[in-house]
A and B are shown apart, each in its own frame.
Chain A
Amino acid sequence: MNLNDIQRVAEEENEFQRAYKYRINVCCSSGCVPFGAFKVLKAFEDAVKEFGVENICKVARTGCVGTCSVGPAVLVDPGEYLYQSVTPENVREIVQSHIVSGVPVKKYLYVNESYFRKQQRLVLRNAGKIDPTRIQDYISTGGYFALAKCLLIMTPQGVIQEIVSSGLRGRGGAGFPVGQKWSLVARASNTPKYIVANLDEGDPGVFANRTLAEADPHAIIEGMIIAGYAIGAQKGYVYIRSEYPLAIEALQKAIAQAKEINLLGDNILGTQHKFDLELRFGAGAFVAGEETAILMSVEGRRAQPRPRPPYPANQGLWNNPTLIQNVESLANAPFIILNGGTWFKSFGLPNCTGTKCFSLTGEINNPGLIEVPMGITLREIIYDIGGGIPNGKKFKAVLVGGPSGGCLPESVLEAQIDYDSLKSVGAIMGSGGIVVLNEDSCMVDTARYFTDFCIEESCGKCTPCRAGLARVKEIFDKITTGEGELNNIDILEEASEYIINASLCGLGQTAPNPILTTLRYFREEYLEHIVNKKCKAGVCFRHENGGGK
């Protein structure tokens, strides 16, 4: 396959799609499938036949539309009419009214403009619109044209330059400039070089990467081939959680399709460039998302981090130069190449460009998957997009950045979403989880919960992380059962400092964040537990009152 072939596929597919007046997109993402999305898909396919409209209406299986709380979600084009909580029973009515008579069924429509108004969908531009199981769908939206541009017109150096000029920073959490990382690996002299795409989304409460893989797997693959060309790697691995069967299936299918038309393999698009891709499955170890641990795991070993330097850019997989990049960062590459780094800079903030995907969950009216421009405030996310707190309850805190993120109170909701602002208030970007808590949550218990998580997930290599967190847990157990003492708070702070300073990897270095932020913003709750033996939220002291969440 060469550039002309790709153009032909795109034209044919566009013509094919234009033949249909309507397109019904049924979200078949992990959020909607448990609510019967596949049954709804089948019901639509049957209904368009029954009403004899299959020639003017295409029924498509797509990825996530974003409104995960009202699944199965169905998007009808033209006009982007979004139906919520569709059941096989009301499918006939929708087809009869909307497709046959041209009148949308108002009572089933999702009416919540603010949910989408403040979002900006770049990475997720295809999510919910294309069928992830058909490579033609991706190509028809301009897919693989960026790859063609790289291979046929640009030099590897030019590709890296474009990424550098876009200002794109790593979306896995730490925010290292992507272009700089690419040029480090490109400059390394050893060969072969490797790429590892990180889809080990182990943070509880986060499903942004999974949704991307389910909705638009080819965007990840195209990004990887482009990165391979830029840094001189011919082999890539996608390290994915085994708990994500739909995403695995989507990627496996997409890889097979790309191989079939020679977008993976030798002589890609008729050029000298080679690139091969394999999936590697995680097995339930949170620490495997750390960049040196992921390498160990891909090599088939225990996912235990090692000291850096040497950095993976010089000594990664099997001691060869390796680019490790989160899948969201990689999926940014194709449209940066197509539209240019300067164009990309028009999104987000000057020093923090582009957008970020977040999963928005917890006690909030509109949970779901969102993509927002950098610079939006937490308040806008929670109240404008998320629709605030349900059941008349009061906002208490928001957890940003997963188990190693921070618990932030009302007073810092004006904080902007960018790496530095979040850091200054005690949180991290992390892999993109925002969990909202209401007044029924106890912040001491929340910190204990995250400590529990980090104890279980600590690999055990560094004593401060392994033993320090266990000691911290003992103190939490005391405080939450009424045996706390005033000096406990000092010990928590001191231990946190040791764990942060003396741990090797990100897990240990960030594990105390929830403790420190709850102590910083909700210290009075600790004091209440210790001095008054009281838990305002009614979560702790289970033995005393038999309560608890």
Chain B
Amino acid sequence: MTTNDIRRTRLEKVLKNHNYQESALLEILHSAQGIYGYLDRNLLMDIAGSLNLPPSHVYGVTTFYSFFKMRKPGQHIITACLGTACYVKGVEQIVVAIEKEFNLKRGGSTADGKLSLLCTRCIGACAMAPVVVLDDQVIGKATKELVIEKIRNVLEGVKDESE
């Protein structure tokens, strides 16, 4: 079986667990994004067909919620919290520094697809503001120097593995 077949089998299981019910669309999209990494058009068409919903409805729901991603994310993801406490504590400077240092824009990825920069509204770790999340690692009381160094380490780690 190809990777895609395995993924499709997992998706089918999710659909079945939810009895192909239209009201479980959000849960199914969550699971699908977990399985495939992101939700592209073909996948959304597939889900629409399985739930017997108009593709426009599935597309509309997907684009309404900012958590759902329709573009392939980078290998590593740095997420900056733009919540009030982080904003007050100067997270904007960190975001600008990352954009400059790694030559990418918020919401986008580097040309080599290794790093994506996302912004989110409050991850709820406000007492440690400003906060950024590198892959699964939460970096509290962040400074731009610290964050850039951590990103570099992670990116270099990738290179090591592939060599």
CB <8 Å contact, B127 and A367: yes
Residue A203 lies at the interface, judged by CB distance under 8 Å to chain B? yes
Judge if B128 is at the interface, Cβ distance under 8 Å.
yes
Can you name 18 extra interface pairs (CB under 8 A) apart from A33-B138, A362-B89, A549-B92?
A: A31-B127, A34-B128, A206-B122, A210-B124, A242-B30, A242-B67, A244-B124, A281-B27, A283-B30, A284-B120, A285-B66, A361-B84, A361-B127, A362-B85, A402-B84, A403-B84, A456-B121, A549-B87
Q: How far is the CB of B113 from chain A (nearest CB, A)?
A: 23
Q: Give a binary string over A145-159; 1 marks a CB under 8 Å from any B CB, 0 the rest.
A: 000000000000000
Contact with A along B114-132 (1 / 0, CB 8 A): 0000001111111111000
Q: At the interface, yes or no: B37 with Cβ under 8 Å from chain A?
A: no
Residues of A with C-beta under 8 A to B80: none
Given A283-B30, A285-B66, A441-B88, are A300 and B127 also a contact pair (CB < 8 Å)? no
Query: In the bound complex, how far is the Cα of B139 from the Cα of A302, in angstroms?
Result: 32
Residue on B nearest A203 in the bound complex, by CB: B122
Q: How far is the CA of A110 from the CA of B120 in the complex (A)?
A: 32
- Flag if B66 contacts A437 (CB, 8 Å): no
Query: Which of B30, B123, B127, B137 contacts A281, CB < 8 Å?
Result: B30
Closest Cβ–Cβ distance, residue A57 to chain B (whole Å): 28
Binding site for A on B (CB under 8 A): 21-27, 29-30, 60-61, 64-68, 82-90, 92-93, 120-129, 137-140
A395 on the B face (CB < 8 A)? no
Chain A residues with Cβ below 8 Å from B30 are: 242, 281, 283
Q: A435-B84, A435-B88 are in contact. Are A243 and B66 (CB under 8 A)?
A: no
> How long is the Cα–Cα vector from A202 to B137 in the complex, in angstroms?
21
Chain A residues, CB < 8 A from B84:
204-205, 361-362, 399, 402-403, 433, 435, 449-450
Which residues in A have their C-beta under 8 angstroms from that of B123?
243
Q: Which residues of A contact B (CB under 8 A)?
A: 30-31, 33-35, 68-69, 71, 201-207, 210, 242-244, 280-286, 297-303, 359, 361-363, 367-369, 399, 402-403, 433, 435, 437, 441, 449-450, 453, 456-457, 459, 548-549
- 18 A-B pairs (CB sep. < 8 Å): A68-B127, A69-B128, A71-B128, A202-B122, A204-B85, A204-B87, A204-B121, A204-B122, A205-B84, A300-B24, A300-B27, A300-B61, A367-B126, A367-B129, A369-B127, A399-B84, A453-B121, A456-B121
A285: chain B residues at CB < 8 Å are 64-66
Smallest CB separation, A377 vs chain B (Å): 22
A403 CB contacts on chain B under 8 angstroms: 84
Give the distance in Å from the alpha carbon of A201 to the alpha carbon of B83 in the complex: 12
* Chain A residues closer than 8 Å to B93, beta-carbon distance: 548-549
Contact B120 A299 (CB under 8 A): no
Chain B residues whose C-beta falls within 8 Å of the C-beta of A402 in the assembled complex: 84
The docked-state distance in angstroms from the alpha carbon of A243 to that of B81 is: 11
Residues from chain B with Cβ under 8 Å of A204 in the complex: 82-87, 121-122
B140: chain A residues at CB < 8 Å are 34-35
Residue of A nearest to B136 (CB): A245
Are the CB atoms of A299 and B23 closer together than 8 Å? yes
B128 in contact with A68 (CB, 8 Å): yes
Given A203-B122, A283-B68, A303-B64, also A363-B24 (CB < 8 A)? no
Q: Give A371 Cβ to nearest chain B Cβ, in Å.
A: 15
Chain B residues positioned under 8 Å from A368 (CB to CB): 127
- Structural contact, A359 and B126, CB atoms closer than 8 A: yes
The smallest beta-carbon distance between A296 and chain B, in angstroms, is 10
A residues in contact with B92, CB < 8 Å? 548-549
Other-chain contact of A202, B23, B82, B89, B121 (Cβ < 8 Å): B121
Cβ-neighbour of B124 out of A201, A301, A437, A453 (below 8 A): A201
